[in-house]
Amino acid sequence: MTPFPRAGFIRRLASLIYDALVVIAFAMLTTIVYLALVQGMISIGWFTLEGHEDVTALIQATPTLYYLRSVLLVAVSVAFFAYFWTKSGQTIGMRAWRLKVQRNDGKLLTWPQAVARSLTAILGLGNLMVILDRKQKRALQDLICKSEVVLLSKEENKKVYDSLDD
């Protein structure tokens, strides 16, 4: 049992908003790289604009390119959260709000748990369950993945961050 209390809805929401800004930046970068790759494929003759005014219109009109872009954006988002959760238990936003995600036994999430947790969070909507479960403060993704989000003390939050330098 962890010595830290589980995090409530407001802190989770604040952390999610903070992290959303980072994920949006990664999504923009991913989109730029994807557009450049498609443009490169057009340049070497693998694709043609086929009457579309630009690369973006081609992607929108080509189901394979459109769905590939969507899969890439989801993969980047999932990878962002999974990386941080498996490395330290904290994303950038969680660090700012002194939150840490961990398994119920207090250990860091495994990659499969972190990926599953990210996908089952349903864009953060899974956290709404914390409002209904005021006593246990468990979100949908916590229940499914046997994890919890705890509120760290200032000292413990600093220890988690400092341990990344080792």
Residue pair 99/127 in contact (Cβ under 8 Å)? The answer is no
SS (H, E, C) 45-63: CCCCCCCCCCHHHHHHHCH
Report the 10 Å Cβ neighbour count for 75. 12
Residue 3 confidence (pLDDT) above 90:
no
Grade residue 160 by pLDDT with cuts at 50, 70 and 90: confident
91 with 19: CB under 8 angstroms? yes
pTM: 0.89
pLDDT tens digits along 57-112: 999 999 999 999 999 999 999 999 999 999 999 999 999 999 999 999 999 999 99
